[in-house]
Structure 1
Amino acid sequence: MTKTLNLPGGTPLPLIGFGTWQLRPKTAYESVRAALEIGYRHVDTATLYKNESDVGRAVKDSGVDREQVFVTTKLRPQDARHARRTLESSLRMLDTGYVDLWLIHWPTGQDELVSTWEELLSAKDAGLVRNVGVSNYSPALIDLLTKATGQQPAVNQIPWSPAEHDPALLEEHRDRGIVVEGYSGLNNTDLNNPVLTEIAQRHGVTSAQVVLRWHLERDIVILPRSSRPERIAANFDLEGFDLTAEDVAAIDTLG
């Protein structure tokens, strides 16, 4: 079983998620099916990705109980004025009565920041989504939403990698009790960096596995994506080794 973090409402969020950005329909279906077969129980999509129906079909065809799969989708800022309609369309395409997490994909214009957040909260109250959050928001913007509504995002999904490691930013999220989901952790990393290759060699794993494990050591949710079954499996296989405190510190310095 993948390690989970509990979101404020008590929903367990698996630390290892499967990302579907840039996966075309047929590939998205096959990759999500492969991921669920391997053991992933967290799948991340978005209106922008145009693959929600393929993701939904893969979850349904996998034979895994819907309650066991944590599904995230995201609202594009340009859809903010008809947020509920967009969500209902996402639910139809995903062929499910609810999503586990609905995020605003990136900040809207200043005048729509609060009203869009209120739309997400209202969808949660209606039972269409179990948790709500944001993506690509600064702590200052998060505070603005919280102050206006008394309810803060459960999650902020932001770019995170050894090169972008920012202890102060992480601390700001921790202080607020907000889970950080890191995206593009492998994309934004030079996997041939000698620090990573040395650690990987010592543990008998790949540099990619080292980077993903480094995220987990910090309780940062990861969303690796791949269309290759062996890569999908390797990205999930992170339990067989532990990074030492020295390893983690060395990777931290790559920023």
Structure 2
Amino acid sequence: MNRWRQLFGERRPLIGVIHLPPLPGSPGWGGDMAAVEARALADAQAYVGGGATAVLVENFGDHPFFPHQVPPETVAAMGRIATAVVQTVSLPVGINVLRNDGAAALAVAVASGAQFIRVNVLSGAMVTDQGLIQGCAAPLLRQRRLLAADGATDGVAVLADVLVKHALPLAPLPMHVAVQDTLARGGADGVIVSGDSTGTPVEPEVLQQARHGAQGAPVLIGSGFGPATADRLGPLCDGVIVASALKQDGRLWNPVDPQRVAQLRSRFHP
């Protein structure tokens, strides 16, 4: 909770996702890092202009994703982009290395000055389109300690998905139990709850179960939050991570629209 409060205080953050185009080594790589960086910085500035609370840099264009460790060229590219974003905006910056390379995300965060990471599977085991992904809490939290990034007020916060989207648990697990395990046994600083897939809203009942299991720890919405769901879901969470709803025309790969950011920010009060 101390790391969370250091980042956001008593605010309920609206975290805008910077979807990076394909990076070096991925099938869709276009060969121009300067263009990737320019696009990332433009989106970051649009989030700032619209009043977002934080931004999250993510290698969304690198599909198909590695289930665990990404190659060095991905880490290097994300380090370059993350550093540029940190130096450009005055907001907290987070890192997500898909599909589940928490070690790479932490390394990029420490090197760039980013302040939090998102980990899709911190605890438990999930069956995904990348195969079986197992939790990485044990090595990740030890790595955070070794990198001196685990300070109570100045460390890198870990926000972890619980029963993450585009995946199914290896064995049935109630949401409140999964949340308890992720926080108490996995060491997360906050949890993220999503619908079944990108852009799909989470059910209010699921959010209530997550809040019950969190016992006061931060619970964020990780998908499907937008103008159509803000009034219904907003009061049930401590923060939101948003991408598609904040792009021009609501299309995933369009640039971020600062007017959409401002409009959603006005619907999601601190």
TM-score, scaled to structure 1 = 0.59
Q: How many Å separate the matches in 2 of 1:164 and 1:55?
A: 29
Which residue of structure 2 lines up, in the alignment, with residue 135 of structure 1? 161
The SS at the match of 1:185 is coil
Following TM superposition, by how much is the alpha carbon of 1:21 offset from its aligned partner in structure 2, in angstroms?
3.1
State how 1:1-255 maps to structure 2 within 5 Å.
7-9=1-3, 10-13=5-8, 14-21=12-19, 23=21, 25=36, 26-46=38-58, 52=78, 53-62=80-89, 64=90, 69-74=91-96, 76=98, 79=101, 83=103, 87-92=106-111, 95-96=112-113, 99-107=114-122, 113-116=136-139, 118-119=141-142, 122=145, 124-125=149-150, 129-137=155-163, 138-145=175-182, 148=185, 152-160=187-195, 163-176=201-214, 177-185=216-224, 208-225=226-243, 226-228=246-248, 231-238=257-264
Conserved? CA contact 2:194–2:201, under 8 Å = no
Following TM superposition, by how much is the alpha carbon of 1:108 offset from its aligned partner in structure 2, in angstroms?
6.5
- Between Structure 1 and Structure 2, the one with more helix by share is 1
Segments of 5+ residues of structure 1 without an aligned counterpart are 1-6, 187-207, 244-255
Following TM superposition, by how much is the alpha carbon of 1:45 offset from its aligned partner in structure 2, in angstroms?
2.2
109-118 or 30-39: which moved more? 109-118
Q: How many Å separate the matches in 1 of 2:188 and 2:95?
A: 15
Segments of 5+ residues of structure 2 without an aligned counterpart are 23-35, 62-73, 126-133, 164-174, 249-254
CA RMSD of aligned residues (A): 3.8
Q: How many Å separate the matches in 1 of 2:60 and 2:266?
A: 35
Conserved? CA contact 1:209–1:234, under 8 Å = no
Conserved? CA contact 2:230–2:268, under 8 Å = no
Q: How many Å separate the matches in 1 of 2:178 and 2:210?
A: 12
Following TM superposition, by how much is the alpha carbon of 1:159 offset from its aligned partner in structure 2, in angstroms?
1.5
Following TM superposition, by how much is the alpha carbon of 1:167 offset from its aligned partner in structure 2, in angstroms?
1.9
After superposition, the Cα gap between the structure-2 partners of 1:220 and 1:121, relative to the gap in structure 1 and judged at 3 Å, is same
Conserved? CA contact 1:106–1:135, under 8 Å = yes
Conserved? CA contact 1:102–1:129, under 8 Å = no
Conserved? CA contact 1:120–1:132, under 8 Å = no
The SS at the match of 1:106 is coil
- Percent identity between matched residues is 9
Conserved? CA contact 2:191–2:218, under 8 Å = yes
Give the partner amino acid of 1:36: V
